[in-house]
Structure 1
Amino acid sequence: MSEQPQTPEPPAPRTEKVLPRDKAPRFPGGPAADPAGSHHERRIRSFQPRRSRVTTGQGEYLERLWPVWGFDIDGLREIDLVEMFEGLPVVLEIGFGMGEATAQMAADDPGTGILAVDVHTPGQGNLLGLAERGGLNNVRVANGDAIILLREMLRPDALDGLRVYFPDPWPKKRHHKRRLIQPEFLSLAATRMKPGAVLHCATDWEDYAEQMLEVLDAHPDFENTVDGGGYAPRPAFRPLTRFEGQGLDKGHVVHDLLFRRVGHGG
């Protein structure tokens, strides 16, 4: 009997490693999903990364402009703001949403550099696009945890101002420990702010505004710019944002707080 030809076994199917959505690189050379990674301690964060849909235009801005105007907060190097902003005074903005207000403030005050920090990828792409279309050379975008930026990457007295507009209010009482404006944050921020630099906070959550006012009043490194204390009128340089408008439509009251960094030693 002649041997029957044996049919070769089909090769095993190739399997490709699929990274989890929050770890996969989304844009070549763009913002990383978790830039600090395991370099720093795990702790309670005041923010949650939002992985909402990035439009084609936002993605193009990220791929093209991130290497020019953006950087990841990896906590592994010191940033020279004098070099980055060519000698301009620099204000740090923590949390900028889609970036419309940031771009407006940069356009209105080209003599001030704005270092804008957020973890919202669509907003990062949108702000880069607004900066390019508006010719705003005084904007830089940072991706990651602002605490690590302040603590690990900025020099003492590096900042001429700090802005925290409408931070996550963490409305449930058990989550209040996640709120950004706490005594520990203020102590860290003070070390990176020049004497006379102003911390400007705004919120439309009444109890968060009360907490902000309480901890700022009690902190030895800050003094209220309002004679007699209390909240400040909205300064003209802070634009009315879409988010703020939505809050106002719901009957929310917006509170601004402007506190000055006092000189070293009081």
Structure 2
Amino acid sequence: MGRPTAKLAKTCLSGMWTLASRYGASAGNIIKLLAPIQVDDKPVVAWSLTEVQRIRSGLRSDKLAVANGIADLVDILLATGCRIGETMAFKWKHLDLDPNKPTVLVEGTVVRIRGGGMIIQPHPKGGPNGKRRLLLPEWAVERLTARRDLVPHEPEDLVFPSQRGTLRDPRNARKQLQRALDRIGVTGIPQNPHAARKTVGTHLAEDADGGQSDIGVAAAQLGNTEAVTRRHYVQRTHQGPDARNRFAAFALPDERDGTAAISRT
């Protein structure tokens, strides 16, 4: 049992004992006597812009990655910040590529049910509130349009199906991505689809001053709260915002007009 699981179990047990105490079935909440469970936060690691360019161009030059759709898949992950399961659930009816502002509707995700089968859950991982319509960048529209025009399809057909035309297993897609990145020599960085989501979150959180005050933009794109986005999807840059003008109130009168003298001892 890992620490996060242990912490969750402790929370559940504490709730049970609190309820038991309330109805007189227990003299108190013994769970509160246990030592705290410390869960170490792992640092968020996103792809740099240089790595993004290398990955995209490398996958485009890899015939297998193009043939099995991994190249297109990574492009859409980077164009939306969606989870791999959400992307696997995309049907052509969710894409509106022809208007002036092309979009994709995120309203489901692929999940595995008991017994080993897969279905499209009728809402994203975060629940019904995670449904969102995202604007697509021009380069992604070009990729999706080319994919749409490549083979005949119906609105209910999957954008990224398996070779048999069925739901594609996200686990297989992860393995295919890792093998593709190995083939093009991209190693030493996270090789999973979730790294693309963290890359989008990190990039969108950056403001014009090089800080990360645009966390709300990243959260809206990813379909998370700002707290979750900041904790799990934004790589810290350790650079503060450009707030120099706000320090003007601290200046002495002679410092405000530029006549301050330099004192030496």
TM-score category, normalised to shorter length: under 0.3
Per residue, is there more strand in 1 or in 2?
Answer: 1
Larger-Rg structure: 2
**Which structure has more RCO (C-alpha within 8 Å, separation ≥ 6)?**
2
TM-score by length of 1: 0.22
**What is the TM-score of this pair, normalised by structure 2?**
0.22
Higher helix share: 2
